[in-house]
Amino acid sequence: MKRRTLLKALTGIGMAGALPMSLTRPAFGATADKFLITISATGGWDPTALIDPKGNTPRADGLGPINNYAASAIKSAGNLAYAPYPSMIEEPAIESAGHFDTFFNKHADRLLVINGIDTQTNGHDSGRRFVWSGKLEEGYPTIAALAAAPFADQPMAFISNGGYDFTASIVAPVRTASPGTFNQLAFPNSMFPTDPDLMHLGLVGQSSYSLVQQAREERLVRQRIAETLPKRQKQMDQLQTVKNSDVELQNLLDFLPEEVSNGLAGQAEVAIAAFASGLAVSANLNASGFDTHGDHDQDHTPSLTALLEGIDHLWEQIEMRGMQDKVTIVVGSDFGRTPFYNEGDGKDHWNITSIMAIGAGITGNRIIGATNENFEALKLNASTLQPDDSGIIVTPQHLHRSLRDFLGVQDDLDNLFPIGVEKLNLFS
Amino acid sequence: MVEQTIQAISSLPLDDTLRKASLQLVSRLPTAAESQQVANQGEAGLRAVLDGMMQEDKFYDRVAEIFNDLILTDRYLTANGQPREALNLMRIFPDAFWFGDPREVTRNPEWFQNLVLSNDSVAREPLQLINYVVKNELPMTEILTADYFMVNPYSAKSYGVFDELAFQDEFDVNEWLPAQIKDFEFFNNNIGDIPHAGILTSLMFLNRYPTSDTNRNRARSRVVYDLFMDVDILALEGSRPDGEAVDISSPAPTLDNDDCVVCHALLDPVASSFENWNDRGFYRPNAPWYDDMFQAGFAGADRPASEEPTSLQWLASQMAVDPRFNDAMVRIVYNGLTGAEPLDPPGDNATEAEWDAYNAESVHLDALKDSFVANNQNLKTLIKEIVLSPYFRADGLTTESFAIVHEDTGAARLLSPEMLHRKINALLGFEWRGPLDFYSVTKDNNSQARLLDDRQYYQQIYGGIDSFVVTQRLTEPNGLMIAVQERMGNELACYAVPNDFLTAAEQRLLMPFVETTTQPTSSANQEAIMQNIQHLHSHLLAEDLAIDDPELQLTYQLFVSTLEAGQAAIGSTEDGNLPFLCRRTNDLLTGDDLSSPLTIDPNYVIRAWIAVAAYLMSDYRFVYE
C-alpha cells in the first residue's frame, strides 16, 4: 500500500544520492548559474481582478457582473491590460510598490502574462499539483525540484515555503519559516545570535562545546555499528550524511538584510540570499489570502496588492545582487475564481487561470492566450500563439512542456516524468 | 516462511513498549503503577493499561492528529490560515457569525475570541465525529453512517442548533454533542431535514474536496475510495489520456471507452451519489444530475430510486458492510502509529525477499483486522493490537539473513515537530517555548510561541504540515532540521538542568543522584555521577544500560572532560556564573520569582551537566522514536 512512491528505487535513501549519476549531472555547468523562483498565490487567485480584467458588464445568463469595476476603467501599461481597483475598495497609496498602477508601470516591460489556462480542476490540492508539476494526477515533482535536482548535493538546493513541493525524491526540500530563525540555526549554541558583541556567549559553555559536538558524532557512529534493525540503520545513515554536509548558514546570513522582512518579501530575501551564497538553486515562495469565498473584493484585493509588493521586492533583491540575467520567476495559482459573485459577495473556485513570468530569458510586455467575456478559455494556435477556433486549449501540461524546454531540464529527468503534449514556445 | 519471517524480528521488551506507546498515545511517561501492572501481568497488563490511557483527553488529540494527516480538514483552523476560513463557508447559515457580522460590528477582543472559537469549532467537526465514535467504542463505520454531526456550544450557535441541545456549559469548547439540522430553510426555500451521513456530508470535508461542473464529484469519489475503501483509483490500470489524445469519437468516453471505464466504473457511481451536495458542500435535493455518466451506486449495486434524496446515507450503508473499509482503518492506524504505510503487493519483477516481507506483514495485518472486526470495529482494539505487534515493537533482527526482507520493518521514525514538542514536555516537565532564547526571562509564558508546533518558528522547518499549503510531512532530516535539533538540545539542557536542581532530589526528573557540588573527587561521588548518567540515558533515551556499560563510561568521560576544561577556563573565558539564559530566577511554568534563585556555578558542575544533557537531547534516540 505504499502507493505514493512513484520511484521506489529512488526512495531507498530518499535523496538524490540514490539517483543514477546521469541524473545528477548539473544542467548548466559545475555550479548553478540559472535559478528559478516560483510564487504560488495559494488558494486560487482571481485573474479578472488583476491581469485578465473583464469589468462589470452584466452577464447574459443573469449571474451578475464578473467584476465590480467598469470595463471602461480597465487600465494598460505597454501591451498589458490590468484591472483597476474595484469600486468601494480603498486603494493603497500610489507610492506602494504593490499598487496596481505602480507595479505595472514599473514592470510591464519585463512581464509575460499567459491567460486562459485551463487547470481542468477546482480542487486546491489537484489544482496546485497540476499548475506546478504539469500533471493533474499525483507523482510528478514540482518544476522547482526539477530545476534543483542536478544540484541535489547542495544542502538547501530547493527551498520550499510551502505550496506544492513534492519532489519525487530527486532532491530534498528544505522548508523555511520566520526569518528570525536563521540566526538561531546558524549559531545553534549562541545565546544571542543576533548581537555581534554577545554572539560568542554559548548556552553550553564555549570551553566545552567542541567536546559535546565530538561526542555526538562519535556516538552516532557507535550506534550505527551496533544497530541491527535495517530501518534504523538507514535512518542513522541519513542522519550521518546530513550532519556531515556543511550547511553554511553563516554564508547565508552574509547576504541577508540585517532585518529580514515578514511575509513574501522575507521569503524573497531568503531565497536570493541563498542563491547568492551558493546554497540554493530554486525556491518556491508562497502568498496566501486568495481563497475568498466571502467578501471577495474586500479580502482578495489587499492580497493581490501584497503579492505585487512581494514580487517587486523580490525583483529589487535580484537587482541588488546583479542576478537579473540568472533568476527566472513564475507566478501562478491553484486555479481561478468564478466569473460571478456568490450570495456572500465571495467568489468560488473556477478552473481557468493565468500565470505571470519575469526575469532571466523572459521577453516581457506580452500577453499570450485569452478568455471570452464569461472568463472561459479561448483556443490558441500552437504555432502563432494567437486565438484560433481550431487551435488548442492551453493547460498546465503545455506550460510545463514549454517551461522545461526553456529551463533546459535534462532529458533524463524529463523522460522520467514525461509530458506528452505539443510544444508551444510560451517562455522566451 | 511467514512464521520464520516474523520470528526474525526481535521485539522491544514490554516495559519499553509501554513507554513508546504512552509517549505516542497520551504524551506522557507511564506512571509507576502502570509500569508495575505491565511487569506483573505481561501483555494482559499492557492491554489494561492501554485501555486506561485511551480514556484520556490527550489520546483523542492524537487520534484527531492521525486522521487529520489524511483528511486535512484542519486546513480551516485559525492556526493554519485566517480566523474565519470555516465560517466563510457557512454563508447559508444565517447565524454563522452569531457574535456579529464582520461587515457591521466593531471588532473588539470579545468578538475576536468568539470568531476564533466558533471558527475552530466548526473546523474541527469531522475530527470530533471520529473522536466521538472512538470514545464511545462505536463501530468505526459510524464515521460514515452517523445521521448526525458534532457541535460544541460555539459551533451549535453558528449552525443555529444551540437551542435544541442541552449543553452543560455554554462556554465550554470541549463539550461536544451530536446534532441534526432539521427543517432547514434557505432564503425562504425549504430544504427540509439534512440527511447527515457522517464525514461524507460534513461541510468541512465537502469543502476541503470541492467539485465543479466538469469534475462532477469525481475528486470527492477518489478521496472517499482512498480514505475509506483503501483503493487508490489513480493506481488502477489505465490512465487519463494527455491533452488532445482524449478519444472524442464517442459521446461519453467515460461510459463507453474501455480505457476510461476501467476507473470510471468505480469512480462515477460514488461521484453520482454526491449529486445532492453542491460544490460548496450544501444540500440541494432534486438538483438535476448528468445522464452521460455512471449513475449513483456502489460495488455493482445501483442506488434505489427511493433513496435519491438520501443518496449519501445509502452509500454510507453500503460502504459500512464492505470489507475494504476495515482495510482502510488498518492502513490509517498502522500508518499513524508506525509512521509507515503497509507494504504494497509486490510487482511482476519482485524479488523473493519482497514477497516474503509482503506475505508476512499481510498475514499479520489480516489477523489484526480480524480482531478489530470481531470486536465491533472498535478502533481501540485495533490500536492495542498494533501496539502489541512485532511491527510496532521491532527493535532489531535476530539474524542478518532477514535484513533485506525486513528493510522497512519497524515503527522507528523521525518524530514530527508536534510529537517532539509533546515528548519534551513529558520528559522535562515544560515545553520548548519562545520567543526563542528569551523564554527564561519572560513571565508571560502563556502568550509565548511553542517553538516546535508553531508555524512561525520551527514547525514548518521541521517538516510539519498546515493541512492546506503544506500537506506532506517531511520524514527525513535535512540540514536545517539538524540545526533545529542541535539548538533544541542546547537550549533545553540550559533550561532543564538548573531548573531540576531547584527541587528536592527525590522530585527531580534529571538529577536525582547528584547535587550542584558533586564533583568526581571521591569514589562515592563518582558512583553517584555514574548513577545519574545511567538515569539520564534511561529517562531521556529509553536506554537501560548496566552501570559498567561502555556507553555510560563514555558519557562519564564527557562529563569529566567538560568539567575539567570548564574549571580550567574559569578566570579567562569562563566565570563562576551560569550562562545568562540558563540562570533560574523565576519559575519556568508560572514565571513567578524564585525565593532562592540559581544563578551561579562556581565549580562548573552545573555546566558540565548541561553539556551532558545537550549531548543526550540531540541524540538519535531522542529525536527518533
Residues of chain B in contact with residue A178, where contact means CB-CB under 8 angstroms, are: 456-457
Buried b (16+ CB within 10 A) or exposed e, B318-339: bbbeeeebbbbbbbbbbbbbbb
- Binary contact (A189, B245; C-beta < 8 A): no
Give the span between the Cα atoms of B177 and B359, in whole angstroms. 43
For residues A210 and A121, which has the higher predicted lDDT (pLDDT)? A210
pLDDT at A23 (0 to 100) = 38
Rounded CA separation B84/B325 (Å) = 33
B101 lies in the same domain as B176: yes
Considering the domain architecture, whether residues B503 and B595 belong to the same structural domain is answered as yes
pLDDT value at residue B242:
45
Task: Flag whether residue A155 sits within 8 Å of chain B, measured between CB atoms.
Answer: yes
CB pairs under 8 A between A and B: 282
Please state the three-class secondary structure of B137-191 as a single string. Answer: CCCCCHHHHCCCEEECHHHHHHHCCHHHCCCCCCCCCCCCEEECCCCEEECCEEE
- CA–CA dist B392, B409 (Å, integer): 9
Of B456, B470, B561, the CB nearest to A178: B456
Check CB contact of A398 with chain B, cutoff 8 Å: yes
Instruction: Specify which of A192-196, B21-25, B456-460 reaches the highest per-range mean pLDDT.
Output: B21-25
Q: How far is CA A187 from CA A199, A270, A380, in A?
A: 8, 17, 54
Give pLDDT tens digits for B309-356: 999 999 999 999 999 999 999 999 999 999 999 998 887 788 998 999
- Interface contact B620-A223, CB threshold 8 A: yes
What average pLDDT does range A125-154 have in this prediction? 91
CB-CB neighbors (< 8 A) of B279 in chain A? 122, 348-349
Nearest-angstrom CA–CA distance, A93 and A348? 29
Cβ distance A3 to B232 less than 8 Å, yes or no, reads yes
Chain A nearest C-alpha distance from B614 (Å): 8
> A135 touching B, CB under 8 A?
no
**Packing angle of the helix pair A263-276, A296-320 (nearest 10 deg):** 20
Compare all CA atoms of chain A with the CA of B463 and give the residue at the minimum distance: A175
Q: Say yes or no: A421 contacts chain B, CB-CB below 8 A.
A: yes
Q: Is A291 on the interface with B (CB under 8 A)?
A: yes
d(CA B92, CA B114): 19
Give the confidence band of B251 by pLDDT, cuts at 50, 70, 90: low
Name which of B244, B342, B483 is nearest A185 (Cβ-Cβ).
B483
Quickly list DSSP for A289-310: ----SSSHHHHHHHHHHHHHHH
Identify whether the C-beta of residue B503 lies closer than 8 Å to the C-beta of residue B587. Answer: no
A331 - beta bridge partners? A39, A356
Strands A158-160 and A173-175 come out as parallel
B298 DSSP β-pair partners: B301
**CA–CA distance, B624 with B613 (Å, rounded to integer):** 17
Quick check: B472 and A123 CB within 8 A? Answer: no
Which residues of chain B neighbour A242 with C-beta distances below 8 Å?
477-479, 481-482
All residues of chain B having their beta carbon less than 8 Å from the beta carbon of residue A238 are 476-477
Is B618 among the domain residues?
yes
Quick check: A175 and B480 CB within 8 A? Answer: yes
Distance, in Å, from the CA atom of B134 to the CA atom of B60, rounded to the nearest integer, reads 8
Are B367 and B516 part of one and the same domain? no
The structural domain count of chain B equals: 3
Higher pLDDT, B442 or B116: B116
Q: Are A156 and A176 in contact (CB under 8 A)?
A: no
Q: Confidence class of residue B548 from pLDDT cuts 50, 70 and 90?
A: very high
A208/B565 touch (CB, cutoff 8 Å), yes or no: yes
Do B324 and B230 contact (CB within 8 A), yes or no? Answer: yes
Q: Is the confidence at residue A282, as pLDDT, over 90? A: yes
Chain A residues with CB under 8 Å of B621 CB are 223
Domain of B572, in residue numbers: 417-623
* A165–B92 C-beta distance less than 8 A: no
Q: How far is CA A266 from the centre of its chain?
A: 14
| Inter-chain residue contact A191 with B463, CB threshold 8 Å | no
Interface check A221 vs B, CB under 8 A: no
Instruction: Enumerate the residues of chain B whose CB falls inside 8 A of the CB of residue A291.
Output: 85
Could you give the 3-state DSSP secondary structure of residue A50?
coil
Within-domain flag for B469: yes
- Smallest CA–CA distance, residue B615 to chain A, in Å, is 6
What per-residue confidence (pLDDT) applies to B215?
78
Contacts of B479 in chain A (CB under 8 A): 155-156, 174, 242, 245, 247
CATH number for the region A16-179+258-416 comes to 3.40.720.10
* Residue range B566-585: mean pLDDT, rounded: 93
Q: How many CB atoms lie within 10 A of CB B431?
A: 20
State whether residue B112 is helix, strand or coil: helix
Q: Would the CB atoms of B102 and A295 count as touching at under 8 Å?
A: yes
A63 shares contact with chain B (CB less than 8 Å): no
pLDDT one-digit tens code per residue, B31-83: 999 999 999 999 999 999 999 999 999 999 999 999 999 999 999 999 887 78
Instruction: Return all residues near A26 (Cβ < 8 A) that are at least 6 apart.
Output: A32, A150, A151
* Statement: residue B248 has pLDDT above 50: no
- The model's confidence at residue B250, banded by pLDDT at 50, 70 and 90, is low
Q: What is the spatial distance between Cα B6 and Cα B374, in angstroms, rounded to a whole number?
A: 23
Domain regions of chain A by residue span:
16-179+258-416, 190-255
Asked if the C-beta of A205 comes within 8 angstroms of chain B's C-beta atoms, the answer is: yes
Q: What's residue B504's pLDDT?
A: 96
Output the CA–CA distances (angstroms, integers) from residue A351 to A329, B78, B224, B287, B332, in the order listed.
23, 27, 22, 22, 32
- Cβ–Cβ below 8 Å for A235 and B414: yes
Nearest to B454 by CA among A177, A165, A187, A189: A177
Closest to B410 (Cβ–Cβ): which among A207, A212, A231? A231
What's the pLDDT tens digit per position in B77-129? 998 877 889 999 998 899 999 999 887 778 889 999 999 999 999 999 999 99
Residue B530 is inside which H or E element, if any?
helix B523-541
Question: Which of chain B's residues have a Cβ under 8 Å away from the Cβ of A6?
Answer: none
The stretch A341-349 carries a mean pLDDT of 85
Q: Is B562 domain-assigned?
A: yes
Residue B244 has pLDDT above 70, yes or no: no
| pLDDT per residue as tens digits for the range B510-543 | 999 999 999 999 999 999 999 999 999 999 999 9
Helix crossing, B14-26 with B379-388: angle to 10°? 140
- Which of A191, A211, A219 comes nearest B579 by C-beta? A191
Q: Answer yes or no: is pLDDT of B417 > 50.
A: yes
Q: Do A230 and B406 touch (CB under 8 A)?
A: yes
Residues of A in contact with B614 (CB under 8 A): 203-204, 212
Query: Residue B479: its pLDDT value, please?
Result: 84
Q: Per-residue DSSP letters for A346-372?
A: ---EESEEEEEEEETT---SEEE--B-
The mean pLDDT value for B397-414 works out to: 92
For the CA atoms of B475, B478, B480, B484, the dihedral, rounded to the nearest 10 degrees, stands at 50
φ/ψ (deg, to 5) at A76 = -145, 155
> A136 vs A43, A169, B493, CA distance in Å?
17, 19, 47
Q: Judge whether B375 lies within some domain.
A: yes
| pLDDT above 90: residue A177 | no
Q: Do A185 and B480 touch (CB under 8 A)?
A: yes
Q: Are residues B463 and B520 in the same domain?
A: yes
**Grid cell in block for residue B611:** 553539556
Q: Closest by alpha carbon to B420, among B227, B148, B257, B624?
A: B624
A324 at B interface, C-beta within 8 A: no
Closest partner residue to B494 among A193, A203, A223, by Cβ? Answer: A203
Geometric angle at alpha carbon B228, from B311 and B462, rounded to 5°: 130
Residues of chain A neighbouring B409 (CB-CB closer than 8 A): 229-231
pTM of the model: 0.85
**A125 contacts on B by Cβ (under 8 Å):** 471
- Give CA–CA dist B27/A410, Å, rounded: 47
Chain B CA closest to residue A176? B461
Indicate yes or no: CB of A346 within 8 angstroms of CB of B88: yes
Does B436 have pLDDT greater than 70?
Answer: no
* pLDDT (mean) for A48-62: 94
The pLDDT, as a whole number, for residue B247 is 52
Q: Do B103 and A137 touch (CB under 8 A)?
A: no
Each residue's pLDDT tens digit, B473-515: 988 888 889 999 999 999 999 999 999 999 999 999 999 999 9
Q: Please name the residues in contact with A23: beta carbons below 8 A apart, sequence gap of 6 or more.
A: A16, A149, A150, A170, A410, A412, A413, A416
Say whether both B350 and B460 belong to one domain. no
Instruction: Identify the H or E element spanning B532.
Output: helix B523-541
Give the distance, in angstroms, between the CA of residue B372 and the centroid of all CA atoms in the same chain. Answer: 21
Mutation for testing the A interface, residue in B558, B561, B609, B616 having most A CBs under 10 Å: B558
Mean of the per-residue pLDDT values for chain B?
91
Grid coordinates of B548: 559498567
Place of cell 473588539: B108
Residues A168 and A10 sit within 8 Å (Cβ to Cβ): yes
Closest residue of A to B567, CA-based?
A207
Q: Tell me the helix, strand and coil percentages in chain A, rounded to 5.
A: 35, 15, 50
pLDDT at A203 over 90: yes
Which triple of cell numbers denotes residue A356?
Answer: 505571470
Name the E strands within B261-398: 297-298, 301-302, 394-397
B158-215 pLDDT, tens digit per residue, is: 999 999 999 999 999 999 999 999 999 877 788 899 999 999 999 999 999 988 777 7
Contact flag B561-A124 (C-beta cutoff 8 Å): no
- What sign does the dihedral B18-B19-B25-B26 (CA atoms) show? positive
Region of poorest pLDDT, from A156-160, A323-327, B451-455, B548-552:
B451-455
